Amino acid sequence: VNLAGNAVKFTDQGAVCVRVTADPTKGRLCFEVEDSGRGLAADECERLFQRFNQIDGSTTRQHGGTGLGLAICKGLAEAMGGEIGVSSVPGQGSVFRLSLPLEPAETVRIEVADSACIAGLRVMVVDDNATNRELARRILEAFGAEVMDADGGESALVQLGALPVDAVLMDLRMPGLDGREALSRLRAAEGPNRDAPVLAFTADADVGQSAGLAPFDGLVRKPIEPLALVAALAEAAASLAWPLAERQAELGAEEAARGVMATRRRRA
């Protein structure tokens, strides 16, 4: 929380990204908090985790604080047998890394009643933020959907004019062609996706309340909650004219066929 809070506080524009990866061989979880803020010089990095240290020590500094947060983080990380550090380039942002040794928990299986409804669903994810696109892709592919993506409204329309999809996840705020205008052009154009369900993909709190959803067919909020994303797409799939069950059966048959062929190759 401290690392993410600092990243947001000192990043005036751009993005903050939090990543968590596992290292099973060492039994560790590795956390990264990356920002596109002001960055730090080498001497600033060296004293960053000292107590009562303020990188901006002027009396007119923009942000408050005691200079204890990172020192406490370092003490906690080391007390748990972990490590914490930073790499940074002035003007290009910073990456804070935390590594902790943790015991693996028992596997927990989460049952999602509607998850089977999106297996085989062809989804286009449109967002100018690469992290949002990657996260949505990982979630959807984990539930069996086929995913394609675009980094803006213009590139999305080019792809949607040629390749049929079953649903579109459309970011509302994008530079150039925003989500609402992209949807308007999609509905007006002749193409395979003119009537495809399009869900608004947004962090705007007003969408779905005072401002309404029209002309979108559903809503997925950021930050993404996996089960909410699956439920929204499952609802969109229920409105499709074609029987998705047949597609899923075909996919199952294809998987089985690939398994047979793989077995034959191994025997050969």
Between CA 91 and CA 156 the distance in angstroms is 32
Please state the φ and ψ torsions of residue 88, each to the nearest 5 degrees.
-155, 155
Quick one: 120 exposed, middle or buried, by C-beta within 10 A (0-12, 13-18, 19+)? buried
Question: Would you state the structure tokens that stand for residue 119, as one six-digit string?
Answer: 């297996």
Residue 106 pLDDT? 80
Q: Mean per-residue pLDDT for 85-103?
A: 94
Bridge pairing between strands 28-35 and 83-89: unpaired
Evaluated on CA atoms 28, 227, 113, 168, the torsion sign reads negative
CA distance 223 to 154: 24
Question: Is the confidence at residue 103, as pLDDT, over 90?
Answer: no
Dihedral over Cα of 168, 173, 176, 178: its sign: positive
Confidence of residue 203 (pLDDT cuts 50, 70, 90): confident
CA 43 – CA 258 distance, rounded (Å)? 57
SS3 (DSSP) at 68: coil
Q: How far apart are CA 61 and CA 70, in angstroms?
A: 18
From 35-39, 79-83, 171-175, 241-245, the region with the lowest mean pLDDT: 241-245
User: In whole numbers, what is the pLDDT of the chain averaged over residues?
Assistant: 83
Least confident of 20-29, 113-122, 242-251: 242-251
* Rounded Cα–Cα distance for residues 80 and 97 (Å): 15
Q: Which of 108, 94, 82, 117 is nearest to 42 (CA)?
A: 94
SS3 186: helix
pTM equals 0.70
Question: 79-88, 151-160, 204-213: which range is least confident on average?
Answer: 204-213
d(CA 192, CA 27): 48
Q: Is the pLDDT of residue 239 over 90?
A: no
Closest-CA residue to 233 (of 246, 218, 221): 218
Answer yes or no: is pLDDT of 262 > 50. Answer: no
The per-residue pLDDT for 137 is: 96
pLDDT digits (tens, 9 = 90+) for 38-60: 899 998 888 889 886 665 554 44
Of 104-108, 111-115, 170-174, give the lowest mean pLDDT range.
111-115
Please check the confidence at residue 81 and state whether its pLDDT lies above 80: yes
Side chain identity at residue 2, one-letter code: N
d(CA 233, CA 244) in angstroms, rounded, equals 13
Q: What is the pLDDT of residue 47?
A: 86
